[in-house]
């Protein structure tokens, strides 16, 4: 049995690269949602327990959301 048959889903006519890209896209969608939830949690924490480090944590959370969404858009553009 040739090695290429392991890398392609012949019965569905779908390549392994397409399946990998689809799982990567799905993962990045879930990760972006996670980043938004994390940002909301940081906002609630900063309101409930204000400290001197709260603005820095908000800044890091905003950067995290931005990177996650930017990476999602980059992967969508590469599809």
With vertex at residue 77, the alpha carbon angle to CA 26 and CA 64, rounded to the nearest 5 degrees, is 60
Predicted pLDDT at 36: 96
List residues bridging with 77 in a β-sheet.
none
pTM: 0.76
Q: Which of 24, 34, 26 is nearest to 64 (CA)?
A: 34
User: Distance between CA atoms of 29 and 45, rounded to whole angstroms?
Assistant: 25
Res 33: pLDDT? 96
pLDDT score recorded for residue 2: 57
Q: Which domain holds residue 73?
A: 4-78
Query: Burial level of 35, CB count in 10 A (0-12/13-18/19+)?
Result: buried
Q: What is the pLDDT, as a whole number, of residue 48?
A: 94
- The series of mean pLDDT values per 10 residues for the chain, 79 residues long, is 56 76 93 96 94 94 96 90
For 2-20, the three-class secondary structure string (H helix, E strand, C coil) is CCHHHHEECCCCEEHHHHH
* Number of structural domains the chain divides into: 1
């Amino acid at each position: 049995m040739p090695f290429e048959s392991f890398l392609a889903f012949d019965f569905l006519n779908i390549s392994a690269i397409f399946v990998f890209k689809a799982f990567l896209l799905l993962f990045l969608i879930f990760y972006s949602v996670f980043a938004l939830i994390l940002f909301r949690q940081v906002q609630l924490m900063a309101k409930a327990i204000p400290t001197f480090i709260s603005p820095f944590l908000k800044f890091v959370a905003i950067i995290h959301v931005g990177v996650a969404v930017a990476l999602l858009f980059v992967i969508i553009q590469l599809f």
